Structures are given as C-alpha cells and as structure tokens.
C-alpha cells in the first residue's frame, strides 16, 4: 500500500503542468482557487471578501498536478506597463513550493511582467536575484504614495492590513531596473518617464509563449 501511494505521488508530481487561464475558463477553477487563496493568505491577511473578486484578475497562471489539483497560482492584471501580478501562493507541499520558486524566477525575468512582493515571497525573490525596480521609482509605476525605506524596499498602506513593506520586482515596460541581489539605485527623488498607456500592451505581453513549467 505504501509503495502504491508513493507511485501515485510520483505520478502527480511528474504530471505537473502550468497553463494560462483567462476569460470564462477561469470559472472552472474558481472555487478551488478561492480555498487555496484563503489557506495561503490566512496568516498574512486577506483583502478579498469572496470568490467573485478573483475574477478582477484578467489572467491566471496555474500549476496543477496529475489530479488537476492546483499546487501554485499567480493572478495578473492588465496595465499600461504590462502584466502586474496581484496574488501568488502555493499549497504548502514541497512540490508546490518548488514550482512556485521556479515560476517566480522565470516570470519576473520576462519583459512587461512585474509585481509587488512582501513577507516570505519577498525573501525568496531577493535570493533569486531577479530584476527589480528601485524604490525611488515605485510611486511612478504604481501611481500610489509609498514610503521609501531602502534601495528597493518601501512601505504603503493596505487597508486593514496597515503599512506593509514590499519590493517591486520584474520588468515593467519603460522603467529602468536593477538586480534584487545587488541593487544599484539612484538617490531618492529621482524620476523616470513611465511608458504611455498603450492599447496593445496586453497583446505584446503574451505569457502563453513564455510561462511554462519544466520538470
């Protein structure tokens, strides 16, 4: 029996696959994703009130096992600078954690893909030396007021969660970046010209072509 369980576990891992889900197809994963979101964010603070709010995210990057169980997820919104990740997590299993790290490293190296990270994910991203945006440029990217705390780190208010320390990683279009592991940033107050709104920004950031899982 133990051998059978081991074989089934290996089968599920070997059949890991990641795909981009958008449009009405998101409904097929809505309830399962909501439960995983609640589990992931329970200890750091939930800001969504129900499954319907997950649909505010235009594109879902989901990794599932051989039984179609979601092991890793990242949800994106369309912006004029590309695709901004909003929510990210995993099921807590060793396999889910490993796939989450692989996806983080791959995703934020792609042009036009970026996002804010905090808590444990921030620590992981810093160790991966992925592209990052200097804190002095963040307010121009987010169009929000932030408090610069270091070369990369800043804090901003998040509703009932209060001030949260974050970094902005990835490569938003038209914004200079540095490396998170060895940042080289200008003095606070420096400004850059953010990319203008472009109707085709979404089409030019085709994650179907370059977000995939490799075992």
pLDDT tens digits, 106-124? 889 999 999 998 887 888 8
Q: How high is the pLDDT of residue 107? A: 86
Q: How high is the pLDDT of residue 188? A: 55
Query: pLDDT above 70 covers what percent of the chain?
Result: 79
In angstroms, rounded to a whole number, what is the distance separating the alpha carbons of residues 74 and 103? 9
In angstroms, rounded to a whole number, what is the distance separating the alpha carbons of residues 10 and 192? 49
pLDDT tens for each residue of 35-52: 999 988 887 778 888 999
CA dihedral 152, 159, 51, 80 (to 10 degrees): -50
Retrieve residue 120's tokens: 């444990």
pLDDT tens for each residue of 49-96: 899 999 999 999 999 988 889 999 999 999 999 999 988 889 988 888
Instruction: Give this prediction's pTM.
Output: 0.74
Residue 137 has pLDDT above 50, yes or no: yes
| CATH architecture for residues 1-107 | 3-Layer(aba) Sandwich (3.40)
CA atoms within 13 A on the CB side of 201: 19
Query: 167 or 4, which is more confident?
Result: 167
Q: How high is the pLDDT of residue 208? A: 35
| Whole-number average pLDDT of the chain | 80
Q: How high is the pLDDT of residue 11? A: 37
187 confidence band (pLDDT: 50, 70, 90): low
In angstroms, rounded to a whole number, what is the distance separating the alpha carbons of residues 164 and 45? 11
Number of helices (H), then strands (E), belonging to the chain: the values are: 7, 10
Mean of pLDDT values over 124-141: 91
Give residue for tokens 């995210």: 57
Domain boundaries, the chain: 1-107, 109-184
Q: How high is the pLDDT of residue 100? A: 86
């Amino acid at each position: 029996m133990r051998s059978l369980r081991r074989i089934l576990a290996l089968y599920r891992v070997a059949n890991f696959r990641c795909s981009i889900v958008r449009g009405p197809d998101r409904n097929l994963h809505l309830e399962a994703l909501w439960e995983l979101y609640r589990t992931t964010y329970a200890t750091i603070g939930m800001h969504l009130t129900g499954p319907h709010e997950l649909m505010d995210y235009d594109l879902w990057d989901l990794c599932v096992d051989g039984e179609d169980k979601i092991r890793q997820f990242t949800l994106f919104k369309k912006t004029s600078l590309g695709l901004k990740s909003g929510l990210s997590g995993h099921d807590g299993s060793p396999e889910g954690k490993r796939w989450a790290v692989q996806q983080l490293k791959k995703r934020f190296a792609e042009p036009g893909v970026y996002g804010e990270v905090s808590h444990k994910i921030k620590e992981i991203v810093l160790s991966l030396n992925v592209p990052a945006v200097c804190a002095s440029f963040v307010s121009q990217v987010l169009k929000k007021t932030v408090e610069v705390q270091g070369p990369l780190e800043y804090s901003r208010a998040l509703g009932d969660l209060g001030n949260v320390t974050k970094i902005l990683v990835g490569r938003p279009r038209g914004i200079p970046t540095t490396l998170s592991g060895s940042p080289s940033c200008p003095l606070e107050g420096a400004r850059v010209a953010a990319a203008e709104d472009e109707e085709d920004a979404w089409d030019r950031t085709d994650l179907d072509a370059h977000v995939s899982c490799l075992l």
